């Protein structure tokens, strides 16, 4: 199984010392773009405002070499940031099923994942567990993220459809 190309659209809205996206870039684990129009043309944008949940239907495009792209911005500015990049990319938007963050900034706030947690969750759901583990390695909370979400991530990755993923998240998080 080949590595999934990982990209970050970086809007420089957060504390640089806490920015997981920059660290991914420095480690060579993701390509960081300061402009949305420099992001790849084919793939999925992880978008908490999307109405389409990431599921097994998304594996085919990823296996054809498509990218996973995360928007690195402040959670306080998420709506305006999504609106800002809309139309600047042809990526398909996907929302992740509910998971618990382990990062120190948003620990335990359901759904408020850091960039690295969002990418790792996507990789796990799409069956790229080794790559998910490798991108979390440089972060103190990486293993905790996987442990905290072990059961939901396993269930989401074994789901038979997008609708099944939606049902599963309700079972786990009500």
Spell out the domain ranges in the chain. Answer: 6-173
Q: Is the pLDDT of residue 161 over 60?
A: yes
The pair of structure tokens assigned to 50 is: 């999307």
pTM reported for the whole predicted model = 0.90
Q: How confident is the model at residue 97 (pLDDT cuts 50, 70, 90)?
A: very high
Edge to edge, the sheet with strand 43-46 lists 31-33, 6-10, 67-72, 43-46, 92-94
- CA 9 – CA 4 distance, rounded (Å): 16
Using pLDDT thresholds of 50, 70 and 90, give the confidence band for residue 1.
Answer: low
């Amino acid at each position: 199984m080949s590595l999934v190309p990982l990209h970050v659209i970086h809007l420089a809205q957060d504390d640089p010392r806490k920015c997981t996206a920059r660290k991914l870039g420095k480690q060579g684990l993701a390509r960081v773009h300061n402009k949305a129009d420099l992001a790849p043309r084919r793939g999925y944008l992880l978008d908490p405002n999307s109405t389409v949940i990431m599921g097994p239907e998304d594996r085919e495009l990823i296996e054809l070499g498509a990218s996973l792209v995360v928007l690195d911005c402040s959670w306080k500015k998420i709506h305006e940031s999504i609106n800002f990049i809309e139309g600047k990319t042809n990526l398909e938007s996907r929302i992740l099923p509910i998971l618990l963050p382990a990062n120190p900034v948003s620990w335990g706030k359901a759904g408020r994942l850091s960039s690295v947690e969002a990418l790792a969750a996507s990789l796990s759901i799409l069956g790229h567990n080794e790559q998910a583990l490798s991108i979390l390695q440089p972060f103190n909370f990486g293993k905790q993220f996987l442990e905290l979400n072990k059961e939901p991530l396993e269930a989401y990755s074994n789901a038979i459809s997008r609708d099944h993923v939606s049902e599963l998240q309700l079972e786990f998080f009500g």
